Chains A and B, each alone.
Chain A
Amino acid sequence: MQALFNQIRRLTLFEVALLASLLLLAAFLALPIVFIINHAFKPYNELFQFPPTFLVKEPTLSNFYDLFLRSSASIVPFSRYLFNSIIVTSISLFAVIVSCSMAAYVLSKYRFGLKKAVMAMIMLSLMFAPETVAIPRYLIISWLQINNTYFGHILPFIASPVAVFLMKQFVDQIPNELVEAAKVDGASEVRIFLQIVMPLAMPALATIAIITFQSVWSDGQASTLFMQDETMKTLPYYITTLTSGANNTVAGQGMAAAAGLLMFLPNLMIFLFAQKRIMETMVHSGVK
């Protein structure tokens, strides 16, 4: 801490310049956010303006009214998609964190014969084009008879190779001596995992939580392929129907903009939450 404060006090001209450029880049990066928020509040005449404007001139809530009221008259109301999305995302998030962190702990701290093979498989699936597994997955889902159930949404996400990989890399940084010391003191495996590895791996946990959340929350594939029942589909699917196909109307564009903002806000929230966790754990971090 002290060292960092001293560094700040000795801000050189070079560092000030860097900070300024950081500010500039941040402003540049924030533009899409400004856009997505403003877009949702635009009335029709501004939505279709060319060239597109960034800031809304006459903000209106009519897009949101359309989204909630008009779509409730259709067969499946907007709230149903939202409900599905929330259920699927929350359960998947929990399941992924539990299963992946456990697997990562074992992969990192144990020595066993299959380890190399498992790591190779993870690397393979990391690099494999996700589109290609869609049809085999569909066949498996229908063979398990879990299409049109929440399981069909959740189960394919549990085996997230990215989460395990990131987690494993982070657990690798936790010294083996720490785990061994706990073992010598008679801690059980579950206890080592819960009380030593998990708290130390909190930053990585937060990272995989963010990654998992946004991939599940914005995934439309499961709804398109595995769900035939309209009442089981999720929000991202609904948004695509708004802008494509028969529903592509003027009102649809406004509704899509509003729904886009609604899709984006939870991402922002979970990020802010996870970010706080990362900061907390970094302060108390006992890694090294």
Chain B
Amino acid sequence: MNARAKGMAKLAYKWRSYGAGYLFMLPWMIGFAVFMAFPIGWSLYLAFQKVSLSGTGFKYSYIGMQNFKDALFKDNEFTIQLLVFMQQMIFMIPIIIIFSLCVSLLLNQQFPGRFLFRAIFFLPVIFSTGQVLTELFQQGAGDVPFIAQYGIDTYVTENFSKSLADPLLNILGMMILILWSSGVQILIFIAGFQTISKSIYEAVRIDGASPWTSFWKITLPGVKPFIALNLLYTMVDLFTFPFNPIMEQIKSNMFNISTGYGYASAIAWLYFIFIMILIALIMLFLNSSNKARRA
């Protein structure tokens, strides 16, 4: 009897909290539905249409899967660029994650001028979006000018064999991109370190663990959810980076009269499905690490 009454009360209580919850979510939900969900749905609809611009506005005509077929089998630019881009990603994502983990570990230490260092490492994020970055690239600050300026490239090619020099120069060339896209990740890691209690470190230290083992046994498992979060963030960030070749293609197809907006939408959706599969794999990792942590 008592248990049932408790259950009823619990239900009523839950019902009340639901109401408040929906109310809390309302402003965001409305904005999201109108400016994100609906436009995305619309673009899916457009992916099956041939969109042409007439004097009075847009003209749609249904063409079925034609856009998707064109993108996959006829357009020899899209598929190749996608593959090339993928190769780059596999290379860059681990570098970014490991780099930001190392830097955030160092920035988490107590040393004079830490504040300044943190600021400097986050600054690229401020550049790496939108107008400022475009501006910098146009003015030539983006492509590691000092490598050529100080003759680093000739130094590398003269002192190493060709098979070693090429990848080395490649990494050097991508260095700015890698460093520039790790600001938020560093911040997330630093926030993540704060969730690990200091007393654990103390306990481990008293038990005679070196900083090295305490990193592997305490810090790394502790920030595992944040590694997953960063992995996701990095992927999304790189995939929607305005300078990435696929984005350029979507943009150029959007205003191309012969292909049009419908085709651009179809490419975007294909690209999205592709990312989705990758993200799903990461989400699996994220969920399992969360579960392992709670257990």
User: Which residues of A does B touch, CB under 8 Å?
Assistant: 1-8, 10, 18-19, 22, 25-26, 28-33, 35-36, 39, 51-52, 54, 98-100, 102-103, 105-107, 110, 112, 118, 121-137, 139-140, 155-156, 158-159, 161-162, 164, 166, 169-170, 173, 189, 193, 203-204, 207, 210-211, 214-215, 218-220, 236, 239-240, 243, 256-257, 260, 263-264, 267-268, 271-272, 275, 278-279, 282, 285, 287-288
Contacts and interface: CB of A to CB of B under 8 A. Distances in A.
Interface stretch (B88-96, B154-162, B190-198): B190-198
Interface in B261-292: 261, 264-265, 268, 271-272, 275-276, 279, 283
Given A159-B31, A170-B191, A22 B106 contact: yes
A169 B185 CA distance: 14
Given A220-B131, A260-B135, A288 B196 contact: yes
B73 interface: no
- Of A25, A54, A164, most buried by chain B (CB within 10 Å of CB) is A25
B283 to A, nearest CB: 8
Contacts of A287: 194-195
Contacts, number: 259
Contacts of A107: 25
Contacts of A220: 130-131
Contact of A7 (B25, B107, B109, B240): B109
Interface in B103-149: 103, 106-107, 109-111, 115, 117-127, 129-132, 134-136, 138-141, 145-146, 149
B71 interface: no
Contact of A22 (B32, B103, B127, B283): B103
Contacts of A193: 24
Interface stretch (B1-9, B33-41, B62-70, B77-85): B33-41
Interface string B10-30: 000000011011101101110
Leading 9 A-B pairs by shortest Cβ distance: A218-B130, A136-B39, A159-B31, A159-B32, A103-B28, A133-B39, A158-B31, A136-B42, A132-B268
Given A2-B202, A98-B27, A193-B24, A19 B111 contact: yes
B179 A126 contact: no
Chain A interface helix/strand/loop/mixed? helix
A8 B110 contact: yes
B24 A103 contact: yes
B25 A126 contact: no
Contacts of B135: 239, 243, 256, 260, 263
Contacts of A159: 28, 31-36
Contacts of A22: 103, 106-107, 117
